[in-house]
């Protein structure tokens, strides 16, 4: 069982916006701003799309945005495109003996 | 452009050992924390361990403590993961990744992964 909870799947039509949640505790998401998000296409390595809650690496589309409220972080993808269909994982620093936790992953289907 | 290339995976019998390697290029290797992450077939990502640029700071996830050892050789621009007493549940693709946030878990470059299969 993952330390961070994500919905198993979300879906949306091209052009729409979707939001993926990532829920933790005050020991991880709620206590720090070291939350990152990764996109993974089948058979490929993950790709960093958001770091430190809201920041996008150079080259990542502005359609991807991140936010946080209390113990829940969120990834929003606006203007959905077919190539956004992938698995998405959140990751957070944890203030305990295992300092990094991933969420269980969310499969995004573009209808 | 940074590049990471893992090697050393393969088919191993339960109880066996493996040493995974990750060759880095395109950046000053010693300036960065490095991490190992694995993904079992059809499952999610699992963070395993990280090591600071100097090698002096090391952390492991609880489930692997005592069996896995992370190390690095900055002269060879290489990261390693020694895995002992392999179990079926260690079957996974193992990725190395660069942490550009110095331990803040900003994994900006990943290798292509190396598959470890534990089976008799």
Looking at the predicted structure, is the pLDDT value of residue B95 above 90? yes
Contact criterion met (CB < 8 Å) for A46 and B95 = yes
Q: pLDDT (tens digit, 9 = 90+) per residue, B2-36?
A: 999 999 999 999 999 999 999 999 999 999 999 99
Torsion, Cα of B47, B105, B42, A64 (10° steps): 170
Provide the pLDDT for residue B104.
Answer: 78
Contact criterion met (CB < 8 Å) for A51 and B59 = no
**B104 to chain A, minimum CA–CA distance in Å?**
6
Q: pLDDT (tens digit, 9 = 90+) per residue, B28-77?
A: 999 999 999 999 999 999 999 999 999 999 999 988 989 999 999 999 99
- Give the one of B105, B110, B112 whose C-beta lies nearest to A100's C-beta: B105
Contact criterion met (CB < 8 Å) for B106 and A105 = no
Residue A76 in contact with residue A69, Cβ under 8 Å? no
Contact criterion met (CB < 8 Å) for B44 and A89 = yes
Q: pLDDT (tens digit, 9 = 90+) per residue, A80-99?
A: 999 999 999 999 988 776 67
Provide the pLDDT for residue A32.
Answer: 87
- Give the one of B47, B60, B108 whose C-beta lies nearest to A57's C-beta: B108
Where chain A has pLDDT below 70, the residues are 1, 97-98
């Amino acid at each position: 069982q993952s330390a961070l909870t994500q919905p198993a799947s979300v879906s949306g039509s091209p052009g729409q916006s979707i939001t993926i949640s990532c829920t933790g505790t005050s020991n991880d998401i709620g206590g720090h701003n070291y939350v990152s998000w990764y996109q993974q296409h089948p058979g490929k390595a993950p790709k960093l799309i958001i770091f430190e809650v809201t920041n996008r690496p150079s080259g990542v589309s502005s359609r991807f945005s991140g936010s946080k409220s209390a113990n829940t972080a969120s990834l929003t993808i606006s203007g959905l495109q077919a190539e956004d269909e992938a698995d998405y994982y959140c990751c957070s620093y944890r203030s305990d003996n295992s300092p990094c936790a991933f969420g269980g992953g969310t499969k995004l289907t573009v209808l | 452009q940074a590049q990471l290339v893992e090697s050393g995976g393969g088919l191993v019998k339960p109880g066996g050992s493996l040493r995974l390697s990750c060759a880095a290029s395109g950046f000053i290797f010693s300036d960065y924390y490095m991490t190992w992450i694995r993904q079992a077939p059809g499952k999610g990502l699992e963070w395993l361990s990280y090591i600071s640029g100097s090698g002096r700071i090391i952390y492991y996830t609880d489930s692997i403590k005592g069996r896995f050892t992370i190390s690095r050789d900055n002269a060879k621009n290489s990261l390693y993961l020694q895995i002992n007493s392999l179990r079926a549940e260690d079957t996974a693709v193992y990725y190395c990744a660069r942490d550009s946030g110095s331990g803040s878990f900003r994994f900006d470059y990943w290798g292509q992964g190396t598959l470890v299969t534990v089976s008799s």
